[in-house]
Amino acid sequence: MSQPTTTSNESTMTGESILSILSPQERTELPPRGDVDLPLAPIEPGHVVRAVAIPEGLHERILRDVRKLERIRRGERQLRQWSVWMTGLAASLLLVMLIQPFFGRPSLDSEALAGKLDSVHRLVLDNEAGLTSVRPTKAWPMAVDSTTCVGQKTVEFLGKQMPAYQLASGAERATLLIVPAAQFPFQLGKPYVTVMHSSLHLQAHYFVSGRQVCILIVRDGTDVRRFHRSESVT
């Protein structure tokens, strides 16, 4: 049988060049064949590759490793997506909790509210109607000086009967209302807000104490610092 002739376009490959196209795993599974630098007969590279025996079970092992890697990466993507979703949900819930008591409610400076506060203030300061003695408890707002409380009256406010406290410091008088935040139907926006009702010669100081909205009502010209302990009051 005649031997195939070699043309100038055919390349001569050494054992080292053959090994370079194999993976490290395939190299370790090849049987020892002596000096890797031993020149081989001129032959097409494709024939050399086809002539190399594939280790038994290698194809299945590769597929199994690839599928395992895909499962791990899929799980990592799902974990990242879940973490982003939970972080966004937690931030949304926190924002809702912070703004829910006052979100979407009318402004504090409404004339309807001003009229109610003026009526409450007049009623509490009316000397003809006696006050009920009161001893401030732990629910008393820390920002208000409890020693200035001289009594309380039951008044109608926001459609409900609730206590209104009269405060006295020297000749100065003030009225204090304490409303649960969930029942306060107006926007607050800041921890401390002062609204001037010039037509009524009235000042209403709103501030948050725990889960309560406190309303300190005084006449124009009254030094509110006689009743309020906060340094934010000027």
Q: How far apart are CA 30 and CA 34, in angstroms?
A: 12
Q: How many CB atoms lie within 10 A of CB 209?
A: 16
Residue 166: count of CB within 10 angstroms of its CB: 20
- Which residue ranges make up each domain of the chain? 111-226
Instruction: Identify the CATH number of the domain defined by range 111-226.
Output: 3.40.1000
Poorest-confidence range of 10-14, 17-21, 72-76, 174-178? 10-14
Q: CA-based Rg of the chain, rounded to a whole angstrom?
A: 43
How is residue 163 written in tokens? 């206590």
pLDDT, position 207: 87
Residues linked to residue 42 through DSSP beta bridges, in sequence order: none
Q: What mean pLDDT is predicted for residues 16-40?
A: 60
Beta-strand relationship, 172-180 and 160-169: antiparallel
For 141-197, the three-class secondary structure string (H helix, E strand, C coil) is: CCCECHHHEEEEEEEEECCEEEEEEEEEECCEEEEEEEEEHHHCCCCCCCCEEEEEE
The reported pLDDT for the residue numbered 141 is 87
Query: For residue 49, what pLDDT is reported?
Result: 54
At residue 164, the pLDDT reads 92
pLDDT of 61 over the 60 cut: yes
- What does the pLDDT look like over 157-182, one tens digit per residue? 888 898 999 999 988 999 999 988 88
Average pLDDT of the residues of the chain:
75
pLDDT in tens, 72-120: 888 888 888 777 777 877 766 665 555 444 455 677 777 878 888 999 9
User: What pTM value is reported for the model?
Assistant: 0.54
Q: pLDDT value at position 228?
A: 82
The predicted structure's pLDDT at residue 64: 81
